[in-house]
C-alpha cells in the first residue's frame, strides 16, 4: 500500500515525536567499574535483583521499580568519569550512591536522603588483628595516621574515592597505603591475604563475598576510626536536566510514602553484623538532623 504525501509526513512526525519523548524520559544509571552489575530494572531480569554490592544498588532497584514514565538504562564508569558525565549533562545520568560535596552540589542535582550507612571503617584480617592494638584508642577506635605509618601492616584504598572529611585529609597527607583504581580491588586483595587492611564500608565487603564465590572467605573484623563520627548519608545524584528534575521529584514522593519502614534500606542492614548494626543505630540517634 502506497502512502500519500500527507500520510508519510504524519508518520514522520509521529516517529520524530516518539524519539523526542523517549530521549526526554531516558535515564542512564551509572555504577562503579568492577562492581556487580544488576539490571536496569527488576522486570528485565527478576532473578538478579538480590545483587547487593556496592551499597546503594538494591536501594536503586527498589526505587526504580516504583518510578513510572522513565526509560532506565545502565552503564559503568570510574569515580572520576561518573562526576564528569553527570556534570556535562549531555543526557540524564544518575548515580544512586552519592555523597554531597561542594563541587557536586554546584554541578548536579540531588534527591532527598536515600540511605544512612556506617562510615568507612578499617577492616583488618582477623589473623593480623593483634598488630592493630598499638593503633587503638581506649574506646577501641583506630588512630588512622598511626596505622598508615606502621610498616608492619600493609593497606590499600581506592584512588579518586571520597572517603569523607575524617579520612581524606589523612590519606592526602600520606604516600601510603597502596592506591588502586577499581572499587573492589582492595577488598579482593584483603580477602586473598595480599594485604592486611583496607578502608571500606563493611557492607561493601560483605556484599562482594556474598555475590562472588571466587572470593576467599578470609575472616575479618571492622573497627571505627577515631574522630568525629556520623552516619554516612547518600543520595541519588543526577545531571542538571529537566528529566532529572522530574525523576528526583517522583523518587522523593516514593520515599516520603514509606518513611516509617524505609524498605529500600533493609538489604543494606542485612549485610552488617550485630555490632555494626548497633554502631549504626547509635550514630543515627546522635545525628543532629
pLDDT of residue 202: 92
* 3-state secondary structure labels for all residues of the chain: CCCCHHHHHHHHHHHHHHHHHHHHHEEEEEEECCCCCCCCCCCCCHHHCCCCCCCCHHHHHHHHCCCCCCEEEEEEECHHHHHHHHHHCCCCEEEEEECCCHHHHHHCEECCCCEEECCCEEEEEHHHHHHHHHHECCCCCECHHHHHCCCCCCEEEECCCCCCCCCHHHHHCCCCCEEECCCCHHHHHHHCCCCCEEEECHHHHHHHHHHCCCCCCCCEEEECECCCCCCEEEEEEECCCHHHHHHHHHHHHHHHCCCCCCHHHHHHHHCCCHHHHHHHHHHHHHCCC
The confidence score (pLDDT) of residue 4 equals 63
Enumerate the domain spans of the chain: 14-116+231-264+275-286, 121-223
Kindly give the interhelix angle for 5-25 and 242-256, rounded to the nearest 10 degrees: 60
Domain 14-116+231-264+275-286 matching CATH 3.30.360.10: the answer reads no
What pLDDT is stored for residue 79 in this prediction? 86
What is the pLDDT at residue 194? 96
- For residue 140, what pLDDT is reported? 94
Q: What is the pTM of this model?
A: 0.71
> How high is the pLDDT of residue 176?
79
pLDDT of residue 182: 83
Residues of the chain with pLDDT under 50: 9-22, 38-53
CATH code reported for the domain at 121-223: 3.40.190
Q: What is the pLDDT of residue 199?
A: 96
pLDDT of residue 148: 95
| Residue 71: all three cell numbers together | 526509560
Question: Are the C-beta atoms of residues 276 and 268 closer than 8 Å to each other?
Answer: no
pLDDT at 51: 35
pLDDT of residue 48: 33
How far apart are the C-alpha atoms of 72 and 22, rounded to whole Å?
10
Q: Looking at residue 43, what is its pLDDT?
A: 41
Tell me whether the CATH fold assigned to 14-116+231-264+275-286 matches the one assigned to 121-223. Answer: yes
Amino acid at each position: 500500500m502506497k502512502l500519500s504525501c500527507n500520510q508519510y509526513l504524519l508518520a514522520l512526525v509521529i516517529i520524530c515525536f516518539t524519539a523526542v519523548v523517549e530521549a526526554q524520559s531516558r535515564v542512564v544509571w551509572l555504577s562503579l567499574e568492577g562492581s556487580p552489575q544488576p539490571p536496569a530494572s527488576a522486570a528485565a531480569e527478576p532473578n538478579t535483583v538480590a545483587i547487593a554490592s556496592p551499597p546503594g544498588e538494591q536501594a536503586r532497584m527498589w526505587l526504580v521499580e516504583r518510578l513510572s514514565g522513565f526509560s532506565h538504562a545502565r552503564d559503568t564508569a570510574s569515580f572520576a568519569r561518573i562526576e564528569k558525565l553527570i556534570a556535562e549533562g549531555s543526557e540524564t545520568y544518575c548515580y544512586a550512591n552519592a555523597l554531597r560535596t561542594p563541587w557536586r552540589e554546584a554541578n548536579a542535582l540531588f534527591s532527598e536522603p536515600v540511605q544512612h550507612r556506617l562510615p568507612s571503617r578499617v577492616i583488618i584480617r582477623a589473623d593480623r588483628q593483634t598488630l592493630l592494638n598499638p593503633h587503638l584508642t581506649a574506646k577501641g577506635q583506630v588512630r588512622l595516621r598511626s596505622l598508615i605509618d606502621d610498616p608492619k601492616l600493609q593497606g590499600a584504598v581506592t584512588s579518586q574515592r571520597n572517603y569523607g572529611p575524617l579520612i581524606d585529609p589523612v590519606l592526602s597527607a600520606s604516600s601510603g597505603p597502596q592506591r588502586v583504581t577499581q572499587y573492589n580491588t582492595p577488598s579482593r586483595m584483603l580477602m586473598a591475604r595480599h594485604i592486611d587492611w583496607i578502608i571500606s564500608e563493611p557492607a561493601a565487603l560483605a556484599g562482594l563475598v556474598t555475590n562472588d564465590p571466587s572470593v576467599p572467605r578470609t575472616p575479618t573484623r571492622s573497627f571505627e576510626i577515631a574522630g568525629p563520627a556520623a552516619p554516612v548519608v547518600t543520595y541519588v545524584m543526577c545531571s542538571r536536566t529537566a528529566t532529572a528534575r522530574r525523576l528526583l521529584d517522583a523518587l522523593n514522593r516514593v520515599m516520603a510514602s514509606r518513611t516509617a519502614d524505609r524498605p529500600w534500606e533493609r538489604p543494606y542492614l542485612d549485610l552488617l553484623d550485630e555490632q555494626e548494626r548497633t554502631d549504626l543505630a547509635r550514630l543515627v540517634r546522635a545525628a543532629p538532623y
